[in-house]
Amino acid sequence: MNEGSPILLGEMLVAAGMVGQNKVEAALRRAGLTGLPLGLELVLQGLLDVDMLSNCVVAQSQVRDGLLKEKAAIDALALAGKKKIQLKVAL
């Protein structure tokens, strides 16, 4: 990840194994054309459900605010994705 830089949604999803790098890159290109945020584009493409998007946004916010380490956020997201549970339960 980017040490010292805010973690990006796509990077977090790839690191957690929730969405592949190629899929994120394609969704980013599409989001650039449609003007939609990446997360919504991933949901519309069926690559992510709304609950998992919410988990990822919460994790991203907690990392940015210094409440959660990046690795812990990624590990919790991976667990939440596998078990289909909320992030707070995975933490």
Tell me the whole-structure pTM to 2 decimals.
0.89
The CA distance from 32 to 42, in Å, is 13
Place of tokens 């394609």: 26
- Collapsing DSSP to helix, strand or coil, 35 comes out as coil
pLDDT for the residue numbered 6: 81
C-beta atoms surrounding 58 within 10 Å = 19
Q: Which residues are CB-contacts of 41 (< 8 A; sequence separation ≥ 6)?
A: 27, 28, 30, 31, 34
pLDDT for the residue numbered 4: 57
pLDDT for the residue numbered 3: 52
pLDDT in tens, 24-81: 999 999 999 999 999 999 999 999 999 999 999 999 999 999 999 999 999 999 999 9
pLDDT for the residue numbered 85: 94
pLDDT for the residue numbered 55: 96
Question: What average pLDDT does this structure show over 8-35?
Answer: 96
Torsion region of 7: left, alpha or beta (phi above 0 gives left; psi -120 to 50 gives alpha): beta
Taken as a whole, the chain contains a residue count of 91
